[in-house]
A and B are shown apart, each in its own frame.
Chain A
Amino acid sequence: AQSVAQPEDQVNVAEGNPLTVKCTYSVSGNPYLFWYVQYPNRGLQFLLKYITGDNLVKGSYGFEAEFNKSQTSFHLKKPSALVSDSALYFCAVSSNTGNQFYFGTGTSLTVIP
């Protein structure tokens, strides 16, 4: 069965510092991995995905994620955090058929001015 884990419920980072939001996965077969962001009282928005190819994936708003097969991780990163990056972040994996998506429990990111 496919699953993802986000070990941190809350991450705090100072504005201008690099940020990392962690995600590990468990899949059978090749993983399709995603990051989404949710702002208060809004739906989720797609940030980036890993399907195949380069292990470093670049996405929206300056975010990137590194796929690490040996560590089964897909951590979200940004070199310099902005206050506007404060939001809830979800890691997700899809089934091999693409029919079902499995989301982590979410990590609340707070960027401190």
Chain B
Amino acid sequence: NAGVTQTPKFQVLKTGQSMTLQCAQDMNHEYMSWYRQDPGMGLRLIHYSVGAGITDQGEVPNGYNVSRSTTEDFPLRLLSAAPSQTSVYFCASSYFGQGLYTGELFFGEGSRLTVL
């Protein structure tokens, strides 16, 4: 099983450039989310989705956009990258819904982004 797949694994951007981090899962999970991991800060939730067509903001949504057109995919877009967005980004998914909520998040391997 592939689980949660993130691409790219590494990316270097210049300030002001845009890019999309891709996330795909093959477990038919309703819930998908994006986190950023920074030293001493732990993981902070950027955006999440509880199903296709439904997205919502987390703790640190500014500078990021998401969409959920299918159950499998949840891309994260940086419209105008800033050095403060240098971080490691993780996508995570979970079962969600009455009778199926387990709370266990399945994480991708991460995408390391550097903004110069």
Number of A-B residue pairs having CB atoms within 8 Å of each other in the complex:
60
Which residue of chain B has its CB nearest to the CB of A51?
B103
A74-98, CB under 8 A of B: which get 1 and which 0?
0000000000000000100010001
How many residues of chain A have a CB within 8 Å of chain B?
A: 23
A34 on interface, CB distance cutoff 8 Å:
yes
Contact B109 A106 (CB under 8 A): no
Contact B48 A100 (CB under 8 A): yes
A45 on interface, CB distance cutoff 8 Å:
yes
Contact A49 B109 (CB under 8 A): no
Give min CB distance, B59 to chain A, whole Å.
Answer: 8
Give min CB distance, B75 to chain A, whole Å.
Answer: 17
Contact B105 A105 (CB under 8 A): no
B90 on interface, CB distance cutoff 8 Å:
yes
A43 on interface, CB distance cutoff 8 Å:
yes
Which residue of chain A has its CB nearest to the CB of B101?
A98
Contact B42 A98 (CB under 8 A): no
Residues of B85-111 whose CB lies within 8 A of A = 90, 92, 96, 101-110
Residues on A lying within 8 angstroms of B by beta carbon are 9, 32, 34, 36, 41-46, 49, 51, 90, 94, 98-106
Nearest 5 A/B pairs, CB to CB: A43-B107, A103-B43, A105-B42, A103-B42, A44-B107
Provide 19 A-B residue pairs closer than 8 Å at the C-beta atoms, listed in order of the A residue. Answer: A41-B109, A41-B110, A43-B4, A43-B90, A43-B108, A49-B103, A49-B104, A98-B96, A99-B50, A100-B45, A100-B58, A100-B59, A101-B33, A101-B105, A102-B59, A103-B35, A103-B43, A103-B44, A105-B42
